[in-house]
Amino acid sequence: MQVTARRAENPPLGILLICAGAGLFGLGEACVKILARDYEIVQIVWARYTFHALVFLLVFSRGGVLRQIATKRPFLHLARSVTLLLGTATFFTALKYLSLPEAGAINFVAPLLVTALAIPLLGERVGIRRWTAILIGFCGVLVIIRPGFGIVHWAAVLPLVTAACYALYQIMTRIAGRTEDTQTSLFWTSAVGVLVMTCMVPFFWSSPDALAWAVMVTTGCLFGLGHYLLIRAFEVAPVSTLSPFLYIQLIWVTVISITVFGEFPDEFTVIGAIIVIGSGLYVWHRERRVSLRSPDA
């Protein structure tokens, strides 16, 4: 009987990967917001998945496409892919109506959902200190969005749906990462999205100009590479450890919002961002101390 060896854990590497991936996601979201001014969300989602798939084919499939398709857990990969597709569609729609920091901040209930689901689904242990850090980070998000003080657009509900989808996607990614190759996970994620959106996009198509094509290609490449880094991160570190570092994307999108769209955050956004960063750095500190005490560190 063949036993698949479990990959070695490397939390610091996982944290570095997820922070880099968050930056790419922020840039990709800016591209989506630019495209949403003139094109339907279905077309934008199609472009995101199509050029994501091209990134996979050109960069990550040197070992052969057929080899990457092979998996013993097709239903898990299908569930992951459909969940991510739904989350992508709802979030892109939200970006059409909300600012990058607003949509991102609401979406950051996902790490709390991830941590809650990691206990029954993955059997991970989350200590009181990490729970406290995650809750403090969530409080920072609440400072930013200030519930009841201005976010009243119906689209504000969409990032909440996205958060639930992303939480389930991250949990399933962690499960798949125990036995599945990174390229296999990436292939299924992109292939399912391309197939579904290609069937839908003819009904929403508007011919892009050269600049729009360039932005669409860039969008797919940014999200494709970002998801590759995300998959790698969850392969080498527990979900509950990485969850607070998903918040770093809020910092990225705030910077992008200022430089690209000229939207400056108010004092509440700055205070909330400091709280979020502080919680993430504390979890990193705790993880490093635990790793140094481990015999396998």
pLDDT single digits (tens) 22-74: 899 999 999 999 999 999 999 999 999 999 888 777 766 565 555 667 677 77
pLDDT single digits (tens) 1-27: 333 445 567 888 888 998 999 899 999
DSSP secondary structure letters along 146-175:
-TTSS---GGGGHHHHHHHHHHHHHHHHHH
Residue 205 belongs to a domain: yes
Residue 295 belongs to a domain: no
Residue 222 belongs to a domain: yes
Name which residue leads in pLDDT, 39 or 139.
39
Tally of domains within the chain:
1
Sign of the Cα torsion 207, 59, 81, 156 reads negative
Task: Quickly list H helices, 70-209.
Answer: 74-97, 100-107, 110-122, 128-145, 158-177, 182-200
| CA R_g for the chain | 19
Residue 6 belongs to a domain: no
Domain membership of residue 104 as a residue range: 17-289
pLDDT single digits (tens) 95-110: 998 888 878 877 777 7
- In sequence order, the 6+-apart residues with CB closer than 8 A to the CB of 27 are 222, 252, 256
Residue 44 belongs to a domain: yes
Residue 141 belongs to a domain: yes
Indicate the pTM of the whole model: 0.77
Q: Taking all residues of the chain, what is their mean pLDDT, rounded to a whole number?
A: 80
